[in-house]
Chain A
Amino acid sequence: MAERAVEAALKAGATEAEAFTQRSRLLQIDFTDTDKRIRTTQSTGLGLRVAAGKRVGMYSTSILSESELGQAAEKALGIARAAPEDPDWRGFNKRLERSSIQRIYDPSISGLDYTDLVGRIDVALDVLRGYSEKVKPSEGTLGLVDATATVANSQGEGMERKGTGAMAYFYAKAEDEGRESTGIEFVESRLWEDVNLDGLALGAAEKAVRFLDARQMKGGEMPVVIRNKVFASILGVMLGPPINADVVQKGASVLADKRGTQIAHEGITVVDDGVMRGGMGSSVFDDEGHPTQTTPIISEGVLENFIYDSYTAQKDKVESTGNASRSYQSPPRPSTSNLILEAGTATPEELITDTRRGLYVETVIGEWLSNPVSGELNATITQGYLIEGGELTQPVKGMVLAGNWYTLLQEGIEALASDTANSGSNYSPTVKARKLSIAGE
């Protein structure tokens, strides 16, 4: 289909064309204490980009029929012809190749039995309820997706790739003598075997009950130990945009002129790894058909590289790093694949033991509201603990964490643990920050 779309566009008069198709099936089961919802979606889509000289246009459609191809070509060309010339336009991706990656496709996912899955969820919900009389499930989701994408362009042969995803979230709510709290656990993986529903349910229940005693405490500046999944999310929010060549070229990155300089402490190493085994952001080729790779971003504190798609790479006269990302409805942009903060050697417990007085952050909301342009980091701590004398003591909630991301990278990170975990396609160990601002009561 992608190759035929390219042919149709060339026939209609395009000087170059590129087609990206997606076909996916998703099974999603949402559940609460008393109710479940199940849905199956079958989605198709074609994104067609065409160039008429240095004028570029795009049209996309969910209708994958032969008759739609001709129309799509005409519409995309109509848009291209109305565009001013893009002086930076140097054509579509010229290197259509694939990389090799293990454990990103699980063929069992599309064959799982609906009734069996619902039964497993029921068992997990019973595990959650059984933890304590004080706790009940509030909501959760199990999502299983099997997707195929193809890329073709007028520069080379079309290619197809497959990937799967398995995601599960459990929220528990605890109540006791007028006090209320919630607990959440989640997993996001490529493989069904990584999803332990009972374990997630139990984890959510434990947290909800433990945080019944949580309260807002007095704020101030203090050392803060941040859990792996939380810091992974912060890493994605704060480092994803400024290392994006598109953001750099638009002048919106504070790292624009920092390549080759020390932007972080020498203990900090970050890579963008598009070929990570089992990685949530891994794929055998990117969304323009360029092979994926491992790109060093920060090596021992030195900013090494930005991430590129073919447009931004050609503009900077470098090779694409294979980071083109898109849905069929939008043109590609660079986006991180698996963004990984390299782990240290300490255990997360050691990070806590080494803290005389501080805060441990278990869950946050609103970390994505932080500002990667100014570097201002903000997050509301929904669950945390005071650390007193190297031990977790009083559970806390509702406090706001703030600091400057670049100050944190340069001098603020005291230690990294060895317990890497992911939030989406961002990976981090538990991290100890020397000092962050905490707003409280």
Chain B
Amino acid sequence: MILIEIDLDRVLDHALGLGVTYADVRYQRRDSEQIQVENGVLKNHSSQTLSGAGIRVVYGGSLGFASTSDLSWKSLEATIEYALKGARSMSSPEEELLRELKVNTVDVRLPTKTDPFDVPPEEKVGLVLDANKAALTSEAVKSRISRLGLVNNLTVFKSSDGADVRVRTPLVGFGHSSVAEAEGVKEVIGDSRSMCAGYEFIAHEDWNEFSADISRFAEEAVRAKHAPPGTYPVVIEQDVVGLVLHEALGHACEGDAVANNASVLAGKLGSQVATEQVTIVDEGVVQNGLYHPYDDEGAEKGRTTIIEDGVLKGFLTDRRSAQKLGMNTTGNGRSQDFENVPIVRQTNYYMMPGDQSLEELVEGIDHGLLVQMRGGRGGQVDPGMGTFTFGVGPSRIIRGGELQELVRGVVISGSVLDTLKTVDAVGKDFKVKTSIFGGCGKMGQQVKTGMGGPPVRVQRMTVGGRRG
């Protein structure tokens, strides 16, 4: 069982004794394990323990923060001093720093059946070796990497206001990538599945078939031509919708960006920013998504409506941005780990489903593309402009309302507000997912997120590819 190695109340008392007006302390312990098999050889099996405490103080109206992985009292005292030194270096703002918050005292966890750290190492290694072997579907497959990731995380948040929030989050996942070669051309396809669950999720899935299917897709993709460059209509499948929304819209509704006028959505509350088919929310606990019932400031994370029927209804906030915007906190104050200050982050950010089948979405396009995620490489956005770019996976040409051949090397790019105004149909097949392998970066902090939605049709999307 996990022990809390330090006396959090003593830290708070010591900070208050130095004259701070508010203090909170976050203790974290994260146990994790990775197994990686490359071309039939176990290349890495390692296990980690990360623990430490982050201390935040308000002194003279300013915030300071410091952390330590050394939990001796001497080091904790020094850490409180560093936090205080940071707060003192800041000129004090005139207004209140942090939004008032309901003081929560809870201890929550997702029920799991099997602790992954109780499963014998031989069994876990064997599973990854088998799946890696299964991915050798033909001689065209030149390289195979399979990996298993397992995490148990505990955070304990206590504040001088009396909050005591304990959250235990399990996360497990399996990922595979294959490189296929044909006629001197190589293509890599990677994919993964993860769940906030115990080892039972890993034990119940057929990872051999999952990995073999990736190899078969890589073999098909390597023979594909390039996508035709230009601007044309596309249908975007669920995983890409989730990623585009997260990157290009989600970041723009983060309250810190809004308050700093660094968001394209600043000043647009109540206005029509998307077509009527579009409704988007951010929610802390969603089936198959990230498990995030409370944030790293001790606030509850429920469901926040961002866009309802195309109208911008809300932003995501932590205590600081909520105060600046004169709004309530939405429980989106999240940090990578105890070494980082909570900042506004998305949890499960997704689009609500509509009523059309994928066939109906595709039927509406004469010349276009079904944009698919599998094998994609991720995305990036210029937050001030809402310009996004995503390297997506091999995708299917749409011709005469029907799906045709596969094309590769597809990059989609655009401005999010322009793109949302050309969404003319929303599908019904809905999914949300999270990943143990990936994460979202902002201001140097990586956090796990959940994302998804239904497939949607967009009338204008700039597609980068290559002629020929």
The answer to whether the Cβ of B150 comes within 8 Å of any Cβ in the partner chain is no
Among residues of A, the one whose C-beta sits closest to the C-beta of B320 is: A35
B411 touches A378 (CB 8 A): yes
- Minimal beta-carbon separation of A222 from chain B (angstroms): 13
Please judge, given known A-B contacts A374-B409, A382-B382, whether A62 and B69 are in contact too, CB under 8 Å: yes
**For window 389-441 of chain A, which residues contact chain B by CB distance below 8 Å?**
397-398, 400-404, 437, 439-441
Cα A281 to Cα B412 with chains together (Å)? 33
The segment from A75-83, A123-131, A226-234, A294-302 found at the interface with B is: A75-83
- Minimal beta-carbon separation of A218 from chain B (angstroms): 11
- Number of contacting residues on A, CB 8 A? 80
Please judge, given known A-B contacts A58-B45, A62-B50, A252-B179, whether A369 and B378 are in contact too, CB under 8 Å: yes
Cα A268 to Cα B217 with chains together (Å)? 36
Cα A59 to Cα B385 with chains together (Å)? 44
* Binary per-residue interface labels of chain B (289-329) against chain A in the complex, 1 for a CB within 8 Å, 0 otherwise: 00000000000000000000000000000001000100000
**For window 12-38 of chain A, which residues contact chain B by CB distance below 8 Å?**
28, 30, 32-38
Residue numbers in A under 8 Å from B121 (CB-CB): 78-79, 82
B90 touches A118 (CB 8 A): yes
Residue numbers in B under 8 Å from A139 (CB-CB): 260, 262, 443
The answer to whether the Cβ of B450 comes within 8 Å of any Cβ in the partner chain is no
- Minimal beta-carbon separation of B8 from chain A (angstroms): 17
Residue numbers in A under 8 Å from B85 (CB-CB): 40, 114
Residue numbers in A under 8 Å from B90 (CB-CB): 36, 38, 118
Cα A40 to Cα B82 with chains together (Å)? 7
Residue numbers in A under 8 Å from B38 (CB-CB): 250
B188 touches A382 (CB 8 A): no
The answer to whether the Cβ of B64 comes within 8 Å of any Cβ in the partner chain is yes
**For window 12-51 of chain B, which residues contact chain A by CB distance below 8 Å?**
38-39, 41-42, 44-51
- Minimal beta-carbon separation of B246 from chain A (angstroms): 15
Cα A251 to Cα B38 with chains together (Å)? 10
Please judge, given known A-B contacts A82-B121, A374-B188, whether A40 and B66 are in contact too, CB under 8 Å: yes
Cα A85 to Cα B260 with chains together (Å)? 56
Residue of B65, B185, B379, B382 with most partner-chain A CB within 10 A? B382
Among residues of A, the one whose C-beta sits closest to the C-beta of B44 is: A331
Total residue contacts A-B, CB cutoff 8 A:
260
Residue numbers in A under 8 Å from B122 (CB-CB): 82
Please judge, given known A-B contacts A141-B443, A251-B143, whether A59 and B188 are in contact too, CB under 8 Å: no
A62 touches B49 (CB 8 A): yes
B385 touches A400 (CB 8 A): no
Residue numbers in B under 8 Å from A75 (CB-CB): 47
Residue numbers in A under 8 Å from B65 (CB-CB): 37-40
* Binary per-residue interface labels of chain B (64-105) against chain A in the complex, 1 for a CB within 8 Å, 0 otherwise: 111111110001001100110111111101000000000000
Residue of B64, B85, B122, B186 with most partner-chain A CB within 10 A? B186
* Binary per-residue interface labels of chain B (428-468) against chain A in the complex, 1 for a CB within 8 Å, 0 otherwise: 00000000000000011000000000000000001111110
- Minimal beta-carbon separation of A12 from chain B (angstroms): 15
Cα A16 to Cα B390 with chains together (Å)? 45
The answer to whether the Cβ of B275 comes within 8 Å of any Cβ in the partner chain is no
The answer to whether the Cβ of B237 comes within 8 Å of any Cβ in the partner chain is no
**For window 88-131 of chain A, which residues contact chain B by CB distance below 8 Å?**
88, 114-115, 117-118, 122
- Minimal beta-carbon separation of B443 from chain A (angstroms): 6
- Minimal beta-carbon separation of A210 from chain B (angstroms): 15
Cα A39 to Cα B54 with chains together (Å)? 10
Cα A136 to Cα B68 with chains together (Å)? 35
Residue numbers in B under 8 Å from A251 (CB-CB): 39, 142-143, 179
B339 touches A41 (CB 8 A): yes
Contact of B377 among A43, A45, A180, A371 (CB under 8 A): A371
The answer to whether the Cβ of B129 comes within 8 Å of any Cβ in the partner chain is yes
Cα A331 to Cα B88 with chains together (Å)? 40
Cα A30 to Cα B466 with chains together (Å)? 39
Contact of A331 among B46, B51, B75, B186 (CB under 8 A): B46
A369 touches B389 (CB 8 A): yes
The answer to whether the Cβ of B341 comes within 8 Å of any Cβ in the partner chain is yes
- Minimal beta-carbon separation of A93 from chain B (angstroms): 17
Please judge, given known A-B contacts A40-B66, A79-B121, whether A118 and B89 are in contact too, CB under 8 Å: yes
B384 touches A138 (CB 8 A): yes
The answer to whether the Cβ of B413 comes within 8 Å of any Cβ in the partner chain is yes
- Minimal beta-carbon separation of B129 from chain A (angstroms): 7
**For window 132-180 of chain B, which residues contact chain A by CB distance below 8 Å?**
142-143, 145, 179
Residue of A45, A117, A403 with most partner-chain B CB within 10 A? A45
Among residues of B, the one whose C-beta sits closest to the C-beta of A138 is: B262
Among residues of A, the one whose C-beta sits closest to the C-beta of B177 is: A252
Cα A357 to Cα B34 with chains together (Å)? 51
The answer to whether the Cβ of B340 comes within 8 Å of any Cβ in the partner chain is yes
Cα A177 to Cα B340 with chains together (Å)? 38
* Binary per-residue interface labels of chain A (205-233) against chain B in the complex, 1 for a CB within 8 Å, 0 otherwise: 00000000000100100000000000000
Please judge, given known A-B contacts A33-B260, A250-B143, whether A369 and B41 are in contact too, CB under 8 Å: no
A374 touches B187 (CB 8 A): yes
Residues of B within 8 A of A (CB): 38-39, 41-42, 44-52, 63-71, 75, 78-79, 82-83, 85-91, 93, 120-122, 125, 129, 142-143, 145, 179, 185-188, 229-231, 256, 259-262, 264, 320, 324, 339-341, 343, 377-385, 387, 389-391, 408-409, 411, 413-415, 443-444, 462-467
Q: A83-B125, A374-B185, A380-B389 are in contact. List 6 more A-B contacts (CB 8 A).
A: A38-B89, A41-B68, A43-B67, A59-B47, A180-B264, A365-B387
A-B residue pairs in contact (CB < 8 Å), sample of 7:
A30-B443, A35-B259, A38-B63, A62-B52, A251-B179, A376-B409, A398-B414
